[in-house]
Amino acid sequence: MDSILVEIRAGVGGEEAALFARDLFRMYQKYAQSKNWQLNVLDSSVSDLGGFKEIIFSLKGENVFENMRFEGGVHRVQRIPKTEKGNRIHTSTASVAILPQIELSKIEIKPQDLKIEIFKSSGPGGQYVNKRETGVRITHLPTGIVVSSQESRNLHQNKENAMKILSWRIFNLQKEKEELKILEQRRQQIKNAERSEKIRTYNFPQNRLTDHRIQKSWYNLDEIIEGKLDPVIKSLKNKIKN
């Protein structure tokens, strides 16, 4: 079994983007259930209408990375928002980042480089969670990276979750620096489905999902958004060679 970390962030589109981020999380959640994967939410930030400004979670199970590795990038949605009174189609985005979960021992994080703060949680735990100071915020002083976790009622678990996110962010930062070096040396663009690329469009009025990397569309978006991702992922595996 392997494991990955998944980060979904609302992009362009305000509240509608946050609602789309929630839909993406729900899609992956149902897909994970169909694969008998273990999903654990590490941190989340909820919008006013119940969407996700950001959500970070881990997935663990058989062939997790192999099946999820092409999900990283900007996902675009075209639909009529519930808040739209003029029946107009809006375009919003959310970004997804995928990274194999790494061992903390592989990332050098010195205790003296950390500023750890405890705060009252305001996560999905309801009234009970608000009564206890279980939220953890960690600042990595050398890089300025700030992470937090408040999903659990357990202080130790939230600290462990925050350290997982921190190690991921530091690893990702180091990876980006290495990629920039390669980019400068080769003087050409690295084509690796970075988060700045729009990889997929979810067109609800046409019930269509289009993956722009392989120029292929499916006309059962209503089923795909319910977690039936296998046909899409199979096509990506067959046509994108890494």
Q: What is the 3-state secondary structure (H, E, C) of 101-113?
A: CCCHHHCCCCHHH
Choose between 52 and 80: higher pLDDT.
Answer: 52
Are 28 and 146 in a shared domain?
no
CB neighbourhood size of 237 (10 A):
14
**pTM of the predicted model, to two decimals?**
0.76
Are 6 and 77 in a shared domain?
yes
Taking only the tens place, the pLDDT of each residue in 21-35 is: 999 999 999 999 999
Taking only the tens place, the pLDDT of each residue in 129-139 is: 455 678 899 99
Tell me what pLDDT residue 85 has: 74
How much of the chain, in percent, has pLDDT values that exceed 90?
59
Domain count, the chain: 2
Are 149 and 230 in a shared domain?
no
Tokens of 134: 């279980």
Q: Which domain holds residue 178?
A: 104-186
Are 73 and 178 in a shared domain?
no
Is the pLDDT at 123 greater than 60, yes or no? no
Taking only the tens place, the pLDDT of each residue in 172-200 is: 888 777 767 655 654 433 343 333 468 99
Instruction: Tell me the average pLDDT across 26-55.
Output: 95
Tokens of 182: 């390669």
Tell me what pLDDT residue 24 has: 98
Phi and psi of 83, rounded to 5°? Answer: -85, -5
Measured distance CA(35)–CA(64) in Å, rounded: 9
Taking only the tens place, the pLDDT of each residue in 54-87 is: 999 999 999 999 999 999 889 999 998 877 777 8
